[in-house]
């Protein structure tokens, strides 16, 4: 399955990495976070229906699912999938109100 990581999701991952690495001086946590995100994305590409369905008014998000990052359960991967593609839309902390961020999604890379 082809995996596409949208630019917004890439920025989310880098922002969280920076939070661990720079703001908390936790290099090992930052590296574990990156490894966990990569591992979870690989796992989702093999089992894309594993995530919890999420429902939004934005028609571009029809079929959106979320999955926690192992070792960082408050951080969730939001993704869409089709027969041959897994599209990572965002990677966000689940305790924040993600609805406005996701509702504003466009079809841009």
pLDDT single digits (tens) 55-100: 988 888 899 999 999 999 999 999 999 999 999 999 998 777 777 7
pLDDT single digits (tens) 29-62: 999 999 999 999 999 999 999 999 999 888 888 9
Task: Report the alpha-carbon angle 89-83-52, nearest 5.
Answer: 50
Sequence spans of domains, the chain: 2-103
CATH class of 2-103: alpha beta
Would you state the structure tokens that stand for residue 104, as one six-digit string?
């504003």
Give me the residue label for tokens 């926690």. Answer: 68
Would you place residue 108 in the very low, low, confident or very high pLDDT band (cuts 50, 70, 90)? Answer: low
Q: What is the model's pLDDT at position 88? A: 96
At 97, give phi and psi (nearest 5°): -75, 100
Q: What is the model's pLDDT at position 25? A: 73
Say what the pTM is: 0.89
**54: three-class secondary structure by DSSP:** coil
Q: Answer for the pair 6, 109: CB distance below 8 angstroms, yes or no.
A: yes
């Amino acid at each position: 399955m082809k995996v596409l990581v949208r630019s917004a999701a890439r920025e989310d991952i880098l922002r969280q990495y920076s939070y661990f690495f720079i703001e908390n001086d936790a290099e090992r946590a930052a590296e574990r976070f990156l490894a966990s995100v990569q591992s979870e994305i690989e796992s989702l590409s093999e089992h894309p229906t594993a995530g919890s369905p999420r429902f939004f008014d934005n028609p571009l998000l029809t079929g959106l699912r979320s999955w926690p990052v192992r070792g960082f359960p408050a951080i969730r991967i939001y993704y869409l999938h089709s027969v041959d593609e897994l599209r990572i839309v965002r990677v966000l902390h689940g305790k924040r109100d993600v609805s406005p961020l996701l509702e504003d999604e466009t079809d841009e890379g």
